[in-house]
Amino acid sequence: MSVEPGVVDTNVLVYALDGDAPQHTAARALLEAGRDPANTLYVTPQILGEFYAIVTNPRRVAKPRPAAEAIAAITDLLAYVHVLPVPARAIDDWLGLLRRHPVTGGDAFDLQIAATMQANGVQRIYTFNTADFGVYSELAVVTP
């Protein structure tokens, strides 16, 4: 399976770990495609932090993972998924996005991801929450 270079959103990582999720097969297929050196997938440090926080939290998932298992999952990802750096200019990009899309609450975190992508020249995000990113015309939002 060939995929375009892009960021893998937190929800895709969570579903890839949850074999009971309806999105599991599609999420796993995307990540497996990322193992092919011809395909390039990214995450941000924020996405890795969100993933860890969600999969270890019994209020967020039906089957929370022990810390060691979540760390092992992240370590496995880092073998083939690239981590985008968060350059200082990402703050200016984030503020610019906030001016154009004055979101509130937790939606500001999605804008941080978009700003990190923008600062690194990445314009595609793979997510099951397309509504979270669909308002940003700067991004190609793709469901795996």
Torsion of CA 103, 16, 78, 97, to 10 degrees: -10
Residue 124: CB atoms within 10 Å: 16
pLDDT tens, N- to C-terminus, the chain (144 residues): 789 999 999 999 999 999 999 999 999 999 999 999 999 999 999 999 999 999 999 999 999 999 999 999 999 999 999 999 999 999 999 999 999 989 999 899 999 999 999 999 999 999 999 888 877 767 778 889
Specify the pLDDT at position 131: 85
Considering the entire predicted model, what is its pTM? 0.94
- Please report, as a single letter, which amino acid is at residue 101: H
Distances (CA, A) of 126 to 16, 48, 57, 72, 141: 13, 15, 23, 22, 6
Of 27, 23, 32, 28, nearest to 1 by C-alpha is: 32
